[in-house]
Amino acid sequence: MAATSALNGVSPASSQKTQDFNGVTVVLGAQWGDEGKGKIVDLLATSADVVCRCQGGNNAGHTVVVGDTAYDFHLLPSGIIHKESISVLGNGVVIHLPGLFDEIQKNEAKGLTGWQQRLLISSQAHLVFDFHQQVDGLQESLRGKQLIGTTKKGIGPTYSSKATRNGIRVIDLVHDFDVFAEKYKNLASYFMKRYPDLAIDIEKDLKTYKDYSNTIRPMVVDTVTFMHKQLQDKSKRILIEGANATMLDIDFGTYPMVTSSNCSVGSVCTGLGVPPRHLKEIYGVVKAYLTRVGSGCFPTEAEPAIDLELRTRGAEFGVTTGRPRRCGWLDMVMLRYANMVNGFTGIAITKLDILDTFTEVKIGVAYKKNGVLLEEFPSSQEAFQGIEVEYLTLPGWQSPTDHCRKFSELPSNAQAYVRTIEKLLSVPVKWIGVGKDRSSVIQLD
């Protein structure tokens, strides 16, 4: 139902289950990441039997706030905090085991328990090693002025190893350690030949990974078979959370300032072995404004004063890197393109409350170049040069929204902003985020 008639939305906190969704529900970032996917995933995970990651590594971060506790997840699916659900790291995920266990330890200190019985790791997932991370940094330093802005978490080099077919998978580690050791030595030698400054203590690393093999062995399964069994059970509710976001997709994003995996809807099939016919709902998460980390095109980037206000009010600093994010106005041209790629059945608008202080808010609705309206989204960095954005300017509401739990409680101008987004995108708004806490969400009927 469209937001224009959904004036009696209810808070998700008002019922035990936020939504019944038999089959597969997918939550994806619709912009350049940092849209607040973690909160929407957490909201849906309260009703999910299985919560999965299908791509990426610990180069992305989700924050879930429960009461006064903020959980930071990088590799772990956000559903890990729900004791009734199973969390799955699919074959499309690349896993840095030291980072995974460091993440677990930090969240255990915040109250995470029982994860050993709820975490499954794909036997076909590829492993990220410390030398992949070193190579990531070396490759970035060699780019000179053409920096990608990588997190140096080793994600790109690991996917490169996968593509060149000398990568090492989880099954290699847990099935036969002698085979793993031989493959590790070969891979380390491969990189040391190409990067003479690379230092790898192979014997020390093998001792460390021997311990890891024993620790993770009970969690390792063929997740394709596991997912197939879940899909055969029509009572199972399956939730898949995307890492990064559509505009960082290595094929569809603003290449080359992208990540090294597919973070659009296709990754659900390739990164988990889920057939397309099982996808029921595909939800895009849209921040009420726009941010980007690092360099690259940003047509709706705001002037310095607006940029600073958005960054300060929105605490726009990376969960993984701590880097300040560039800030600007919502870009509808980008969102329409993301919708073409993913086919959203609904969207969540997050961080609406960050716009509470503005006298006016803007939405970029069209791109022009040399006075000509562009009909297609630019496919290269160079194609963005000289682009002018046509804006739709709406009055701000200059009133706090963080207390609102129904659509009808929002200021009228805030309602109009949400309705305008919905109309321009032709996709219904399902949720509106108005604060950090998990309860600070308006759910529309």
Active site residues: 34, 62, 162
Reduced to 3 states (helix: H, G, I; strand: E, B; else coil), residue 162 is: helix
228 labeled binding residue: no
36 labeled binding residue: yes
59 labeled binding residue: yes
Q: Token pair 């070969």 is at which residue?
A: 186
277 labeled binding residue: no
60 labeled binding residue: yes
234 labeled binding residue: no
233 labeled binding residue: no
> Concatenated DSSP letters for 82-137?
-TTSEEEE-TTBEE-HHHHHHHHHHHHTTT---GGGTEEEETTPEEP-HHHHHHHH
259 labeled binding residue: yes
33 labeled binding residue: yes
Distance CA 203, CA 54 (A): 32
Handedness of CA 108, 112, 115, 121 (dihedral sign): negative
Distance CA 242, CA 52 (A): 9
22 labeled binding residue: no
Distance CA 239, CA 442 (A): 20
Surface-to-core class of residue 366, CB atoms within 10 Å of its CB (0-12 exposed, 13-18 middle, 19+ buried)? middle
229 labeled binding residue: no
433 labeled binding residue: yes
Distance CA 220, CA 61 (A): 23
434 labeled binding residue: yes
Distance CA 437, CA 342 (A): 28
Surface-to-core class of residue 304, CB atoms within 10 Å of its CB (0-12 exposed, 13-18 middle, 19+ buried)? exposed
Distance CA 14, CA 10 (A): 7
20 labeled binding residue: no
Binding-site residues for GTP sit at 33-39, 61-63, 325, 351-353, 433-435
Binding-site residues for IMP sit at 34-37, 59-62, 151, 165, 244, 259, 323
Binding-site residues sit at 33-39, 59-63, 151, 165, 244, 259, 319-325, 351-353, 433-435
Binding-site residues for substrate sit at 319-325
Binding-site residues for Mg(2+) sit at 34, 61
